[in-house]
Structure 1
Amino acid sequence: MASAYLDHHLALLQHLRGILVALGEAEQVSDDTHALFLERFDELLGSLPDDPEGSLYLGQDLISQVFHRYPQIAHLVPRDLLWFFGGDCLHFMPDEEIELFQRLDERRYEAEQNGEPFDWNQEKQLLALPPESSKH
């Protein structure tokens, strides 16, 4: 898995972890398992760089749990993470969004095969433009 691609998603996971920590600090969590959830989240952050493929199931599980355990922050979960982990996470994405991420992944794969640089965020913005917009 390309390093820049993985680094992008690790940064998004760190951002989401910060939101989860703030949620706990604001005492908006109704049960005592929040600390254990954060421990599992940290486990994912630690294992993902060394074993991206082996960490996908844990990532799917944790991201899905965010939607169930913390519905008040569901809108803050970066959509990229849903696509990155796939599986059950895709249930939280509309079909149009899945199609956008499929095209984005195809462009990333093509760029990697051709040894070309690929900027995930820039490409995502270009693909999200309406069809009549000029793409520079």
Structure 2
Amino acid sequence: MNLRTQYILDSFTELKKRMLDHAPFNADSLAEEEADFLQKWQGLMEETESLSPNYLFNAQELLARLIRCYPNLTVLIKRELLWFVGGECLHFLGDKELDLYQNFEEAAYEYEQNGKDYDIATLISALRDKNGSTSSTTH
């Protein structure tokens, strides 16, 4: 599994844990809609682990559904996760964020071309600091 896919999987795992601490997912008995959502989430994580060709498309749909149906949980999403899965999720990012992640892509490409290792979260944080961005990855 490449660095980016592992980051996406780790971010989805962390996001699920955080969602379970908030309504409506922290209820003792889940409504059918929430149970279905968590079932699809688990399926997405399995698809990501197995590198299914559809995992990014399904990730886009599930993140967009999370934002539409549970707007109170949107603050739990790492912003770069929206960038990495792309598609409809890019519409939830502002222009400054899009610029930041484009700069990330350029820096990551340079690291890879020079055979250098890098940490995605550290690189994004450094770019945020460099650009004076006030948005954070997660709250």
Unaligned runs of 5+ in 1: none
Give structure 1 regions of 4+ aligned residues with deviation exceeding 6 angstroms: none
Task: State the Cα RMSD in Å.
Answer: 2.3
1:88 is aligned to 88
Structure-1-length-normalised TM-score: 0.84
**In the TM superposition, what is the alpha-carbon distance from 1:40 to its structure 2 partner?**
0.6
2:78 is aligned to 78
Q: Quick one: structure 1 residues 16 and 30, their matched pair in 2 at CA, closer, same or farther if it must change by over 3 Å?
A: same
| Identity %, equivalent residues | 27
Paired with 2:73 and 2:13, the residues of 1 have a C-alpha distance of 15
Unaligned runs of 5+ in 2: 133-139
Tell me the alpha carbon deviations over residues 52-99 of structure 1, each in whole angstroms, 9 at most, x when there is no partner. Answer: 642111000000011011111111111121011101001111011011
Counterpart of 1:123, as a letter, is L
1:20 is aligned to 19
Q: Quick one: structure 1 residues 28 and 87, their matched pair in 2 at CA, closer, same or farther if it must change by over 3 Å?
A: farther
Q: Which has the higher contact order (CA 8 A, sep 6+)?
A: 2
Between 4-13 and 27-36, report the one with greater CA deviation.
Answer: 27-36
Count of aligned pairs: 131
Paired with 2:123 and 2:82, the residues of 1 have a C-alpha distance of 17
Tell me the alpha carbon deviations over residues 11-57 of structure 1, each in whole angstroms, 9 at most, x when there is no partner. Answer: 11011111232334533999421111111111110011222642111
Between 54-63 and 27-36, report the one with greater CA deviation.
Answer: 27-36
Counterpart of 1:79, as a letter, is R
Q: Quick one: structure 1 residues 28 and 90, their matched pair in 2 at CA, closer, same or farther if it must change by over 3 Å?
A: farther
Paired with 2:71 and 2:14, the residues of 1 have a C-alpha distance of 17
2:5 corresponds to 1:6: yes
